[in-house]
Amino acid sequence: MIDSLLWIMCFILFAGLTVLLLDRRRLRSGNRVEAEITGIYDEYTDAAIHVFFDVSERKKMERALKESMERYRRLVELSPAAIAVFKDKGLIYLNPSCMKLFGASRMEEMIGSHPRSWLLEDDPDLIAACRDEILQHGFITAKELRIKRLNGGIIDIVANAIYDDQSDTVEIVFEDITERKKVEQALMESERLNRQIIEISPVAMLLHQDYRFTYANPHALLLLGAASSDEIVGHRIGEITHPDSHELVMEYVEDVYEQQGTSQLGWHRMIRRDGKVIDVEAVTAPIPFMGAKTAVTIVRDITERKKQEDDRRYAEDLVRESEDRYFRLQMSLDQFSSDSFGMIKEEDLNCRFVREVRQVIGTDLVSFIEVDHHTNVTVTHGGPEIADSILETIFELGPHQLPICELIDTLDGHFVKIGEIRGISCILCIGEPSPFLVIQATRVWLETIARYVSVLYDNFRVIGDLNRELEQIASQQRTPVWLLRLIFQLSEKERKNLAQDLHDAALQDQIVWYRKLDQLMTAPELPENLHRELEKIKQGLLDVMYQIRITCNELRPPMLRELGLERSLEGLFELTQLRSDYAIRFECSGLNHPMNDDLLIGLYRIVQEMLANASKHSGATQVVIKLFGSQDRLCLNYADNGVGMNVEDTERVFSNMGVYGIKERVRSLNGEVRLVSSPDQGLSISISIPA
C-alpha cells in the first residue's frame, strides 16, 4: 500500500516537473500559457506539492463556445423571424421580432403565457396533437394558425417547433402571413372573378396548347355548335378551321407560339360541329406562364356582319348605278328643256319628244298618236304601227278620261297621255315592254318629261289666247286691265331705278362738290369779290341738291309701306304747299283695309296727278281731298275752286289736262271714276276702288 502511494507521488512529481519544463520552454519561447495548479501539502515533509495542468486549449474552446453562444444569442435577438421558447406550461423567452408580432412592448407581458391564451380558437385536440407530435418526432411541422395580439388584432401565422431534450424546452418560430393570406385571398377572388368573366363573356375564348384545345368558354361552345366542352377539348385547331383558312390560321398560331407576340386581327372561316361554315374575326395571344406553347384565341362571329357588308356593297353598286342612271336622265331632261326653249310649234315639240324617248329607252317602237272624240287614231310621229293591247286599253279606259302624265303598262308595251289640245288627246306609245321602265327612276323621268311637254302645250294654248286677245284689243283700241297693271308696274320699277340712280350718283356728286366748295371758301387769302361769287355758286348747288331730293321723293315715295298711305300723303301735301299757291285740306278715316303694294302706290300716284293738275291748270286757291273706307271699297274725293272745265268735251279733257292718266290708273285697279265740273265752278273727282 505504501509502495503504491510512493509510486503515485513519484508520478505526480514527475508530471509536475514535466509541466514546469514545458512551461519553462514555452516561457522561453515568449508564448503565454494558461494552466491549472493544484497544490498538495505533505505534512511529513512540511512541504507543498504543486501540480500544473495546461488548459490553454480548453480555455480556447470555452471562449469559442461562449462567443458562439453570444453570436447565437445576437442572431436570435436580431433575427427578423419571431422566435419564442416554451417550457413546462408557458413561454420563457421571446426575441424582439416575436414581441413585435404579439404587439408586446416588454417581454414580461408574454412570459408565462400559454398558447391557449393567444390562439384564436382554443382547440384542445390541436394542442394535444402538437404535444404528441413533438414528443414522438421532436418537432412540429409547419401549421397555419390565427392568433390574437395584445391589442386585440388578429393575424395569420405559420408556426414551426423543435424540441430540445437537453434543456427540455420547445423553440417555436412564427411567421406572419397575414398580408400573404390577403394577397392569396385577393388572388383567389381575382381568379374566381376572371373565370366568371370568361364564363359569362359574350366573346368566344379558346385556350390551346401545342395546337390542341384545352378549354372553351360557353360562348365558344355556342359559336362552334358544341353541346359540351368534351366535343372541343383535346381536338386540334385544324379540325375546326375551313380548308380555305387552314394555312393562314396555322401560320398565325405558330408565330404566336414561337415569337410570343399577339397576332394581328384576322378574318377566317370556321366549321361548326353541325358542318355549317361561319365567318369569324380572331386574335391570338400567348400565355407564357402556362407553358411554352400555350395561347388563348378570341373569336367573334362576323357572319351576319359579313353578309351585311356584302349587302351594303351590293346596295352601293346599285346606288352607283342608280346615280349614273340619274345623271343620264338628268342630262336628258336638261338637254330636252334646252332644245325646247323657243319652240312655238306643237309639231316640232312632238318630234323632239319622240326622239328623246327613243334614245333613252333604247327602242324604235315609239309613236305619238292623237285620238279625237270619234276615237279616230292618227299617228303623227314615230312608228306607224301601234300594238293592239295598247289601243284596247286606251279605248277601254277612255282617251279623254286617262290621267295626265301617268305611265300605264300593258302586255305589249306602255303609254302615257300628254294632254289635250282643242279636244284631241295626245298620247305617247311604246310598242314593247321595256326593262328600263321597270326601274322607278326611268318611269319618273318619262312622267317628268311628259309633264314638261304638257306644260308647254298649256303655254302654247295661253300664247294663242293672248294673240287672239291682242288682235281683239287692237281692233277695239282699248288696253286690257292686266296690261295696264303690267305697264304701271314696269313704270314704277323704272321710277324706282331712276330715283336710286339720282340719289346714288348725281346727288352724291353734288354733295362732294358742295363740301369741296365750302372748304375752299374758308381760305383766308380768298378775295372778297371771289368769295361772294362762290357763295352764289354754293347756294345754287344747295338748290340743285334740294331739287334732286324732291325729284327722288316724287319718283319713289319714301317709306310708303312702312309709314302707311295716310302719313305718306300728309308728307306729300306738306311738300306741295311749299311750291304751290293753294291751300290743301286733307281728311282721312276708316282705312282699316289691308292694302297690297299695287293699291298703295296706285292711290298715291292718283293724288300726285290730282295735285299736279291743280298746280298746272286749275288756278284754285283751295283744294279738298278726302280719303275714307267703306265696308268693301276705298273712296277718294277731290274738289277745288278753280276754273273748272266742260266735262262734255271728254276727248279734250282726257288728253290735255292729265285726267286720262288718273282714269287709266283707276281702271288698272278695277275701280270707277266720276268727274263733275263746269266752267268757273271748280272740279270734283270721285273715285271708288275695291278694297
Burial class (CB in 10 A: 0-12, 13-18, 19+), 152: exposed
pLDDT in tens, 627-667: 888 878 889 899 998 888 776 665 454 544 567 778 888 88
Distance CA(602)–CA(608), nearest Å, equals: 10
Contacts for 397 with CB less than 8 Å, ≥ 6 apart: 408
For range 98-102, the mean pLDDT = 88
Distance CA 303, CA 567 (A): 79
pLDDT at 2: 42
d(CA 263, CA 252): 6
For the segment 341-354, the average pLDDT, to the nearest whole number, is 81
C-alpha cell at 151: 391589442
Say how far apart CA 337 and CA 448 lie, in whole Å: 11
Amino acid identity of residue 673, one-letter, is V
In 217-346, DSSP assigns E strands to 266-271, 277-286, 294-301
Segment 387-406 shows an average pLDDT of 89
Per-residue pLDDT, 409: 92
DSSP-derived secondary structure for 546-605 = HHHHHHHHHHS-TTHHHH-HHHHHHHHHHHHHHH-SSEEEEEEE---S---HHHHHHHHH
Three-state SS letters, 490-509: HHHHHHHHHHHHHHHHHHHH
* β-pair type (622-629, 583-589): parallel
Residue partners of 471: CB distance under 8 A and separation at least 6: none
Residue 35's contacts (CB-CB under 8 Å, 6 or more residues apart) are: 19, 23, 52, 53, 54, 55, 56
Q: Is the pLDDT of residue 200 over 90?
A: no
> What confidence score (pLDDT) does residue 618 get?
81
405 backbone φψ class: left, alpha, beta (φ>0; ψ -120 to 50): left
Q: Which of 418, 409, 410, 344 is nearest to 381 (CA)?
A: 418
Beta carbons of 677 and 644 less than 8 angstroms apart: yes
Residue range 447-473, pLDDT digits in tens? 888 988 888 888 877 777 777 766 666
CB 584 within 8 A of CB 577: yes
The confidence score (pLDDT) of residue 12 equals 46
pTM exceeding the 0.85 threshold for the entire prediction: no
Helix 528-555 with 481-501: angle, nearest 10 deg: 150
Average pLDDT for residues 393-400, to the nearest whole number? 89
d(CA 577, CA 277): 101
Q: Using alpha carbons only, give the angle 326, 332, 338 rounded to the nearest 5 degrees.
A: 135
Helix residue ranges per DSSP H, 371-439: 388-397
Could you please report the per-residue DSSP string of 310-346?
Answer: HHHHHHHHHHHHHHHHHHHHHHHHHHHHHHHTT---H
Lowest mean pLDDT among 26-35, 53-62, 330-339, 530-539: 26-35
Q: What would the pLDDT profile of 1-52 be if each residue is shown by its tens digit?
A: 444 444 444 444 444 444 444 444 444 556 677 777 877 777 777 787 777 7
Per-residue pLDDT, 430? 92
The more confidently predicted of residues 343 and 80 is 80
For the chain, the farthest-separated pair of C-alpha atoms sits apart, in whole angstroms, at 208
pLDDT of residue 417: 92
Which pLDDT does position 1 carry in this prediction?
A: 43
Q: Indicate the range of 121-125, 163-167, 202-206, 447-451 predicted with least confidence.
A: 121-125
DSSP 515-532: HHHHHHHT-TTS-HHHHH
The set of residues, in sequence order, having a beta carbon less than 8 Å from that of 317 and lying 6+ positions away, is: none
Cα separation, 299 vs 609, in Å, equals: 92
- SS3 state of residue 38: strand
| pLDDT one-digit tens code per residue, 229-268 | 888 899 998 888 999 888 888 888 888 888 888 888 888 8
Please state, in angstroms and rounded to a whole number, the distance separating the CA atoms of residues 331 and 325: 10
Give the separation between CA 160 and CA 168, rounded to whole angstroms: 17
Residue 660 Cα to chain centre, angstroms:
69
Q: pLDDT by residue (tens digit) across 158-176?
A: 888 888 887 888 888 988 8
Q: pLDDT grade, residue 500 (50/70/90)?
A: confident
pLDDT at 24: 42
pLDDT number for residue 4 = 45
Of the pLDDT bands very low, low, confident and very high (cuts 50, 70, 90), residue 670 is confident
